[in-house]
Amino acid sequence: MNRVPVISKEGKPLMPTKPSRARRWVSEGKAVGRWSDLGVYYVQLTTPPSAKEVQPIAVGVDPGKSYSGVGVQSAKCTLLQLHLILPFGRVKKRMETRAMLRRGRRGRRINRNVPFKLRNHRQCRFDNRKQCKLPPSIKASRQLELRVVTELAAIFPVTAIGYERVKADVDFSKRKRAKSGKGFSPVMVGQNWAISQMKKIALRQAQGITPVYVRHGWQKDGNGTSQLRTQLGLEKDRANKSIAKPESHAGDGVALACGYFIKYVPFTGFNSHGYTHFGSVNVTASPFKIITRPGAVKRGKEYGFFRRQLHFEVPNKSGVRKPKGIHGTVEGFRAADLVKATKSGISDVGYVGGYSPKAKVFAVYDWQWKRIGLFSPKKMELIRRSNGLCVA
């Protein structure tokens, strides 16, 4: 039961409609078809809508370390499922590389032929080790989730956001899980930051700020993610969570979104009492998409997309630094642009990842950042500029 998102002429999200009705609106000139940054097709009305009333739509976010699941749910059907491949590993490796290169630069700067007191050491910095900062790898993952929720709120009338929070105790002196019960870890700090940011996502309606409700996977009161998933009959593949499919993480996002429509409440009957799930929601088949950032790390080496990096890190013996990646606009294309490339009569759609000045060819990659091939710019057609996301 697919549904096409609809927004008004002013950009206000309205209730999704059937694909047949959306096609009829476009053919009659009542709407214009568009694509969001998440690769979701929607229509924008060119005439005033017949009704502006909307029904509740919830977004569920199941955050993880390397993967996250997102589900968009209404009371009648499931609208969308997303599998997010988080940039945790890439950012962590880049931070380690940055520290290594910084140490190398400082070592090359110091002249060890002069006395120690006359060497060009850097001065002592102020105490900056007591700041409330998030680790860059965790913050990048939470920012990708926030970006996705923001894009969803732009085309769906989001009423609430469900977010799963984890609890972890870490003993930083021994680098292992502690039994203190304080429940503190950088992961929890990152999730609290993400929740505070999602509360700032304002609805384009009169309701004001989007409420965010929190669930725990380990809850045993019937409102936990696991029990909601069991109640809804959703499957969970625990064997290999890295496989991009709805049963990996997107199903948990749908369960969290359904938590807005059903509650685990007490009841008292004629001769019985207890707890039961109260409410009505219909989980259906829906479009499934994979969202990731350009670039990849394979076998410990980084490939493809480089940001603000004009050359390799260490120069060769002659002191010349070899160019790396793409800087600016080359032959009308930029890094991570979505293009249609043709060779020998066969067309492929991929992302621009590199350019060879000598051969004057571009390297085009798929969403997993596996190279499709080398193409001449004359055989490439721009579909859209880079928006920082790869969609499959």
Reading the chain (392 residues) residue by residue, the pLDDT tens digits are 789 999 999 989 999 999 999 999 999 999 999 999 999 999 999 998 888 888 889 999 999 888 999 999 998 999 999 999 998 888 888 888 888 888 887 777 788 888 888 887 766 666 666 666 788 899 999 999 999 999 999 999 998 899 988 876 555 555 555 555 455 678 888 888 888 888 887 554 445 556 888 887 766 666 677 777 777 777 887 778 788 888 888 888 888 888 888 877 666 666 766 666 777 888 888 999 999 988 766 655 666 666 666 667 777 778 777 777 777 788 889 888 999 999 988 999 999 988 888 889 998 999 888 889 999 999 999 999 988 888 98
Amino acid 275: pLDDT: 64
Tell me the CATH class for 54-265.
alpha beta
- Within 10 angstroms of residue 303's Cβ, the number of other Cβ atoms is 17
Q: Please report, for the chain, the start and end positions of each structural domain, with discontinuous segments joined by +.
A: 54-265, 296-391
The C-alpha atoms of residue 41 and residue 35 are separated, in whole angstroms, by 5
- Assigned CATH for 296-391: 2.30.30
pTM of the entire structure? 0.86
For residue 303, the model assigns a pLDDT of 61
Kindly state the helix (H) or strand (E) to which residue 140 belongs, with its residue range: helix 136-155
The C-alpha atoms of residue 257 and residue 62 are separated, in whole angstroms, by: 10
Q: For residue 65, which amino acid is it?
A: K
pLDDT at 35: 93
CA atoms in the 13 A half-sphere facing the CB of 353: 24
71-86 burial, b for 16+ CB within 10 Å, e for fewer?
bbbbbebbbbbbbbbb
Q: Distance between CA atoms of 82 and 67, rounded to whole angstroms?
A: 10
What is the spatial distance between Cα 365 and Cα 338, in angstroms, rounded to a whole number? 10
